[in-house]
Amino acid sequence: MGNPLAGRDIIEIPALSRAEIDLILSTSRDLEARLERDRRLDLLQDYILATLFYEPSTRTRLSFEAAMHRLSGRVVSVSEVTSSSVAKGESIDDTVRTIEQYADVIVMRHPESGAAQVAADAMSVPLINAGDGSRNHPTQALLDLYTIEKERGGIDGRTIALVGDLKYGRTSHSLAEALVHYQARLLLVSPSELRMPERIRERLSEHGVHYRETESIEDAMREADVLYVTRIQRERFPSPADYDRFRGVFQISPDLLSRSAHDAIVMHPLPRVDEISHQVDSLPQAAYFRQARNGVYVRMALLALVLGTV
C-alpha cells in the first residue's frame, strides 16, 4: 500500500479511515523500535516544522519538537502569539500563508473550534491540528490509542471509562471518535452538566458503539480496563463560579484503584490538576507518563507520513 497520508492535513479524527489509523499506529511502532537502536533517525533531514500555538502548551509543543529533532528535522516556533503579528491584528489566513513560506509542515493550536480547518484551507503545506477549542485533538487521540494497545494488549473487547469534563475536553471528544473503529465499550463518567456532547454521542450510536453514561466513579471501578481521566477545563467555563462547582469532582486515589475489578490502568492527557493523587504515580497502573512518551513516537509517525518520507 502507498502512503495515503502524504501531503494531507490532520485536522480531526473522523477524516481518518481505520486503515489510515492502523498505518499511523504501525508506523509509530516501527519508529519506536528503530529509536531504541538509534537515538536519532534521518527521515526528516532538510525538513522544517513550524509550530504556531495560540494557546498555552508545554507537552504537545515539546513532544512535536522532540519528534522532529529525533527525525533530524528542524523547528521554528511562534509560541508567544501575543508578541507576534497576530497581536497586531493579522488574520489566521495571512499568518499561515506567510509561515508556510518558511516551513514544510505546520503544527497549530488555537482556542477556537474550527480554526484548524480555516488555516488548512488557506495554505498548501500540511497542517497538523494540535487542538482547536473544545472540539478536536486528533494527535492526542492517536497516542491514546497507541497507549491502550500497548498497555492492554489491544483495544477490542476492552471497557474504557472516559472520566471528567466530557463537555469541554477535546481529548475525550477525539478519543471517543477514534474508538468507533474498535469493538470497545465506553463508560462516560461525568457530572450530568458536563456530559459528552450530543454530536459525539450520536456518532457513537451510528457506529453501534456500546456506551453508557454515569456520574459514578464506582461504576468505572467495577467495569473499566482503562480509566482515561481528564481535567475540568477551567478556561472554557463561562465564569470562575461555574468552574468551582466542579473542581475536584473526581479524585483517583490508591484506595479507589485498589477496588478496580479489572486492575484498570490510569491514563491522563496531562496536565493534571487534582484529579489523580500524586500517590498513584508510583503504582504500576499509572500509565500517564508512559503515555506522554508515546506521544513522541506517534508524532514522529505523523510528521514522517504527512511529509511522505516513510
Q: What is the smallest separation between the CB atom of 45 and ligand NCD, expressed in angstroms?
A: 27
What is d(CA 220, CA 112) in angstroms, rounded to the nearest whole number? 32
User: For residue 50, what are the β-bridge partners?
Assistant: 76, 106
Quote the least distance from Cβ 233 to ligand NCD, whole Å: 6
Taking the complex as a whole, the smallest distance from the CB of residue 190 to ligand NCD amounts, in Å, to 14
Identify which of residues 6 and 62 has a Cβ nearer to ligand NCD in the complex.
62
- Which is closer to ligand NCD, CB of 56 or CB of 154? 56
- For ligand NCD, which is the closer residue by CB, 170 or 185? 170
Q: Which residue lies nearer to ligand NCD by CB, 117 or 171?
A: 171
Judged on CB neighbours under 10 Å (0-12, 13-18, 19+), 259 is: exposed
Helix axes 170-179, 198-206, angle to 10 degrees: 10
Our CB check for ligand NCD shows the closer of 3 and 79 to be: 79
CB 109 to ligand NCD: min, Å:
7
What contacts 184, CB < 8 A, 6 or more positions away?
155, 156, 157, 158, 159, 160, 209
Residues 148 and 151: their CA atoms lie apart, in Å, by 5
Are the CB atoms for 27 and 306 separated by under 8 Å?
no
Judged by the rule CB under 6 A, the positions of this chain that interact with ligand NCD are: 59-60, 131, 137, 140, 170-171, 230-231, 269-270
Nearest approach, Cβ of 130 to ligand NCD (angstroms)? Answer: 7
Q: Which helix (H) or strand (E) holds 289?
A: helix 288-306
